[in-house]
Amino acid sequence: MTTPQKPSGPDDPPLIVLHEQRDRVGVERVACGIVRFRRRIVTETQRIEVVVRREVLEFDPPLGPAATGADEVYDVEADVAADGPEDPSGRTLVVDLHAEVPVVSVQLRPVERVRVGVRRVQATGQVPVTVAREQVQVDVWATDR
């Protein structure tokens, strides 16, 4: 605003003080977002070949149609069902047969370490600022004296 000043002395002309706005530009740090890190589990099916073994019953000398020349096949299960698993007369022999089965165990192991950090990036931008200032306007009126 323009403020007329009274002269400080008898010979000093009146003064007008002019004002103007000046811009002061700075920066302020504000939160611009939140980042959330989550670990998620992704499953995948893997096919792994495993060699398994099993026991089979062998006879020495071999039994069966090829060895005896007969066309009959000896049915072990029918014989065991008829005599039972244990025969007190000693005619029955019980043999345990074994087979291997695949066994899967899963272990959790650390495989990768991920470091998370923040980096500042600098950029230059323009900010529009409107400032006002006062100017002196002189109006002269002619007077007839």
Query: What is the domain count for the chain?
Result: 1
Share the mean pLDDT of the chain: 81
pLDDT band at 11 (very low <50, low <70, confident <90, very high): confident
Query: Does the residue 92 lie in any domain?
Result: yes
Query: Does the residue 138 lie in any domain?
Result: no
Query: Does the residue 74 lie in any domain?
Result: yes
Query: Does the residue 145 lie in any domain?
Result: no
Q: What's the predicted TM-score (pTM) here? A: 0.38
What is the C-alpha R_g of the chain?
53
- What domain range is 79 assigned to? 48-100
Query: Does the residue 25 lie in any domain?
Result: no
Note the pLDDT tens digit of each residue in 13-71: 888 889 999 999 888 999 999 989 899 999 999 999 999 999 998 887 776 655 555 55
Q: What are phi and psi for residue 3, nearest 5 degrees? A: -125, 115
